């Protein structure tokens, strides 16, 4: 149990030492990035889920950060576990839909009402679009390679008289 207590103390020290900006830097899908937390604390990611005291402290930390506006509210978060299970059941590859941006509601003085959440939404959208763009570029490159290979085969068949011209 000494390891469990040491991990708890490490997590408490880590969370106490972090600033708002440092927490913002490790937000992933509306939660604190578990992998990054474990890396910075120097223990396995499974400790965050398997140690009930750390799990409780992490949940309390995220609740506090939601109240402070660092993390989004629970209502806007997708249920990631059920989303993954649904994909495994279907056995079909799915592309995630790009995050939808809500229109900015301007007040009378022209200042958007959702000042803090909009930059994060835009950053998320940009990251998603960059990822999708890279994926499509790779797919295009593969299709061009296949096309050139099949064009060479077609040309060889046509010159040998086995394919009508």
Binned at pLDDT 50, 70 and 90, residue 97 comes out as low
Q: Which domain holds residue 146?
A: 115-165
Would residue 92 count as lying in a domain? Answer: no
pLDDT at 18 over 70: yes
Q: Is 120 found in the same domain as 67?
A: no
Would residue 27 count as lying in a domain? Answer: yes
Helix (H) or strand (E) holding 32: strand 31-32
Domain boundary among 75, 107, 125: 75
Is residue 112 within 8 Å of residue 118, measured between CB atoms?
yes
Would residue 137 count as lying in a domain? Answer: yes
Task: Please state, as a whole number, how many other Cβ atoms lie within 10 Å of the Cβ of residue 117.
Answer: 15
Would residue 5 count as lying in a domain? Answer: yes
**What are the pLDDT digits (tens) for 111-131?**
444 455 688 888 888 888 888
In whole angstroms, what is the distance from residue 119 CA to residue 104 CA?
11
- The number of folded domains in the chain is 2
Q: Residue 120 contacts by C-beta under 8 Å, 6 or more apart in sequence?
A: 27
């Amino acid at each position: 149990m000494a390891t469990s207590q040491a991990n708890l103390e490490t997590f408490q020290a880590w969370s106490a030492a972090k600033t708002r900006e440092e927490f913002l830097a490790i937000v992933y899908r509306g939660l604190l990035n578990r992998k990054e937390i474990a890396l910075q604390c120097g223990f396995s990611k499974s400790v965050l889920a398997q140690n009930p005291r750390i799990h409780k402290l992490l949940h309390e930390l995220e609740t506090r950060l939601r109240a402070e506006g660092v993390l989004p509210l629970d209502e806007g978060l997708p249920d990631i576990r059920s989303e993954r299970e649904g994909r495994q059941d279907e056995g079909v590859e799915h592309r995630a839909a790009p995050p939808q941006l809500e229109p900015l509601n301007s007040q009378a003085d022209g200042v958007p009402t959702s000042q803090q959440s909009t930059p994060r939404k835009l950053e998320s959208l940009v990251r998603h679009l960059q990822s999708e763009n890279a994926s499509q570029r790779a797919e295009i490159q593969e299709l061009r390679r296949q096309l050139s290979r099949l064009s060479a085969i077609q040309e060889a068949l046509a010159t040998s008289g086995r394919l009508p011209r």
